[in-house]
A and B are shown apart, each in its own frame.
Chain A
């Protein structure tokens, strides 16, 4: 209906459509957009304006979350290229990554069984390192080489790491409660 709803997430915040973004600028632009469209700005406005404000504020939140997280940002860029990252269907991983996966899972289970929160924290740090390595790969694959198939593979790896990280955080949280 209006231009703002058909803009992509990058355009909404007036950012270049690429993987490498300046997080400070994203934060700033997000706040600027919310300052204009948030429902709090329209508490006394007409019903049409309140509805539109809710829709735009919802969209701004969605766009911000998508762009803030590197995995979802890459997935979204690929989507804009018409490429499905197939995270649910394509589970084939290269052999070396498969080995890493198994090591991480084992380390997590051992540390959880031993109630060793410090070991879990160390594991998280290690995974963050791999994660940032893959993010550098993505920058090359997406922004420089336009190697979208390769980038899809990297997104699948990052997506796996995100899931294990969430599991580890959950495990830490459970141990703290016990």
Chain B
């Protein structure tokens, strides 16, 4: 793609050092890791040459943990301790999982997020996911020969705040620095768009093992603008397996079966489904633990009939997304198919019929998400790329507050481009009221009880006033990862109080810290050593970034301003020699504060240049 290479302020801290960054597709069924090597995005393989890592985690009797094919092969022997499709439980409570009765796990109902009882103890979906991420991290570090700077991890576009936060927590637990959470369809669009130098409106139809997403993007000169997204975070290839499984039970007239046989027949169902992608019929044979014999033939016509309603369920979100983007089917230039489940011929036919054109399938639907994530990771890590791209993503679900009578007051509407901030003013209800409780929800429904509860907090210390006199401003800020923070502030006659809530689901900061603690080996287990290490890395990164900025745009500063910044830098350098992580942290803060005006000036200058049509590349090349 012929794009101008624009010098990115602050991005090229160390021009000659290639930062190791990866894209990770943490899938329901399979996970992958990819990286950009010599300008090409490539999937990294394990020692046996597998690209895919089955997202299966098994807790063994000897206390060890198995991930991937070896775990998958044991799933029918050891169903309680072998966790399959854990992504479906991320950020979810027990009541959110529809088919709990059909699953072979011992669930524990814990507030916020469910847990699974295994022989290794209670495991949160965050911990299980972290096991998968650890394996991918190891694979990448081995292949690339060094420690990773960071990773971009993909999530379904339709994931809500709880599910995103859980994913980020899992990455942290696996020791990964998250450069960005990236929506899967957007990642696919990047991989696809950059390959094909496409322009125009594209629909990404993404059906994975457990989730369905549809996103509509406008591609123009390297800018990927997401216009609308919709989906169903509990619909995917697994549901097709379960339809087949239920059909087997019905046909074979089986009595209620045990967890081992359930797992066995679910696997047989998946195999039959995959076989039917290229064949007209599949034979399903199995001898169950109970002694019952299963011997059935499933035709592709029968499969189509069994799963018709599942495919129909994907077309409603598609219609809604088009409507939200104010577009018609005719405006769509191409449809990109993503996710293993889009291999099914009946899915492809339904999509082709809906859009009146054949979907694009020239990239491997299993790999395209990881490939796109790797490209974005490379850009974010600060490696130069010839394809200078910009992703403008959106928030999939509206955010609001509970008001009187259990009604939702929408503050940020769905499909708003990120980052976004919105403020809403509230007042007190009673004379002398000194506290106010704030309940943050996500969803499209009018009743709070029909939306997902994200956080509750209380604003205290409101000075006593007559009812209606206080002015409480609640501000929502959603960052580029799609994660929310809420600030409430009472602002009358100079009295202010202030609270920021970062919702964390099921896991508190302390719990994460403890898990991290126990997962590191003895040499690293010293909390202070770790804190010091982190503070030094932070400080180095900051010094590097500011040195570069001063070199590039130092002339924007007066002599006094430059001297002040340099003095702060020297102070930080001196403190780094000491072993005091708090002092280093404070000096980092001070330096950040001292460069605020400089940062604003640089950005202002670059915007003015861009709007005036000046090319910045002449400065760099």
Which residues of A are in contact with B by a Cβ distance under 8 Å?
Answer: 1-4, 13-14, 27, 29, 31-49, 51-54, 56-58, 61-62, 64-65, 169, 172-173, 176-177
Docked-complex contact B11 and A45, CB < 8 angstroms: yes
- Kindly state the separation between the CA atoms of A1 and B546 in the bound complex, as whole angstroms: 21
Contact with A along B580-607 (1 / 0, CB 8 A): 0000000011011101111111111011
B interface with A by C-beta (< 8 Å): 6, 8-11, 13, 179-180, 220-221, 223, 225, 316, 319-320, 323, 376, 379-382, 390-392, 416-421, 477, 479-480, 541-542, 545-546, 549, 588-589, 591-593, 595-604, 606-607, 610-611
A53 and chain B: residue at smallest CB distance: B603
Cβ contact within 8 Å between B316 and A177? yes
Which one, B11, B323, B376, contacts A169 given CB within 8 A?
Answer: B323
Cβ-defined contact, B593 with A48, below 8 A:
yes
What are 5 pairs between A and B in contact, CB < 8 Å?
A: A4-B604, A41-B11, A43-B179, A49-B10, A54-B479
Given A31-B223, A37-B607: A46 in contact with B416 (beta carbons within 8 A): no
Contact indicator B381/A35 (Cβ below 8 Å): no
Instruction: List the 6 closest A-B pairs by CB distance, nearest first.
Output: A45-B10, A47-B592, A43-B380, A2-B600, A49-B599, A44-B382
Query: A39-B419, A41-B9, A177-B316 are known contacts. Are A33 and B607 too (CB-CB below 8 A)?
Result: yes
Residue of A at shortest CB range from B377?
A43
CB distance from A122 to the nearest CB of B (A): 15
A33 to B392, CA, bound (A): 12
How many contacts between A and B, using CB within 8 angstroms? 148
Within the complex, which residue of B392, B420, B591, B604 is in contact with A34, where a contact is CB–CB below 8 Å?
B392
B598 to A, closest residue via Cβ: A48
Minimum CB–CB distance from A172 to chain B (whole Å) comes to 7
Evaluate whether A46 and B611 lie within 8 angstroms (CB atoms) in the complex, with A40-B390, A40-B480 already known: no
What is the CA–CA distance of A100 and B72 in the complex, to the nearest angstrom?
64
**A51 to B382, Cβ gap below 8 A?**
no
Chain B residues whose C-beta falls within 8 Å of the C-beta of A34 in the assembled complex: 223, 390, 392
- Contact of B6 with A35 in the complex, beta carbons under 8 Å: yes
Is the beta-carbon distance between B603 and A37 smaller than 8 angstroms?
Answer: yes
Measured CB to CB, the closest approach of chain A to B423, in angstroms, equals 11
**Is B10 in contact with A46, judged by CB distance below 8 angstroms?**
yes
- Rounded to whole Å, the gap between the CB of B338 and the closest CB of chain A is 21
Partner of B603, one of A27, A31, A36, A40: A36
Given contacts A49-B10, A56-B603, 17 further A-B contacts (CB under 8 A): A31-B221, A31-B223, A34-B392, A40-B391, A41-B9, A41-B10, A43-B11, A44-B11, A45-B11, A45-B549, A46-B595, A47-B589, A52-B603, A53-B599, A61-B420, A65-B416, A173-B320
Contacts of B316 in A (CB 8 A): 176-177
C-alpha spacing A53/B615, complex, angstroms: 20
A88 to chain B, nearest CB (A): 13
Please indicate the chain A residues that have their CB under 8 angstroms from the CB of B599 in the complex. 45-46, 48-49, 51-53
CA distance A39 to B419 in the complex (A): 8
Q: Could you tell me the distance between the alpha carbons of A172 and B320 in the complex, rounded to whole angstroms?
A: 9
**In the complex, are the beta carbons of A2 and B390 less than 8 A apart?**
no
Q: CB-CB < 8 A to A2: which residues of B?
A: 597, 600-601, 604
Q: Which of A27, A49, A169, A176 has the most CB of B within 10 A?
A: A49
Q: Chain A contacts of B420 at CB under 8 A?
A: 58, 61-62
In the bound complex, do residue B179 and residue A13 qualify as a contact, i.e. CB atoms below 8 Å apart? no
Do residues A45 and B598 form an inter-chain contact, with CB atoms below 8 A?
A: no
On whether A38 and B541 interact (CB within 8 A), knowing A45-B10, A52-B599, the answer reads no
Q: How far is the CB of B221 from chain A (nearest CB, A)?
A: 8
- Residue from the list A14, A33, A40, A173 in contact with B323, Cβ < 8 A: A173
Question: A37 to chain B: which residues have CB within 8 Å?
Answer: 603, 606-607
Is B180 within 8 A of A40, CB to CB?
yes
- Decide: A49 and B390 in contact? CB cutoff 8 A: no
Q: Known contacts A31-B220, A35-B223, A42-B11; decide if A3 and B417 are in contact (CB<8 Å).
A: no
B-side contacts of A41, CB under 8 Å: 8-11, 390
Chain A residues within an 8 Å CB radius of B601: 2
Given the contacts A39-B479, A44-B382, A48-B592, A61 and B416 also touching, CB distance less than 8 Å = yes
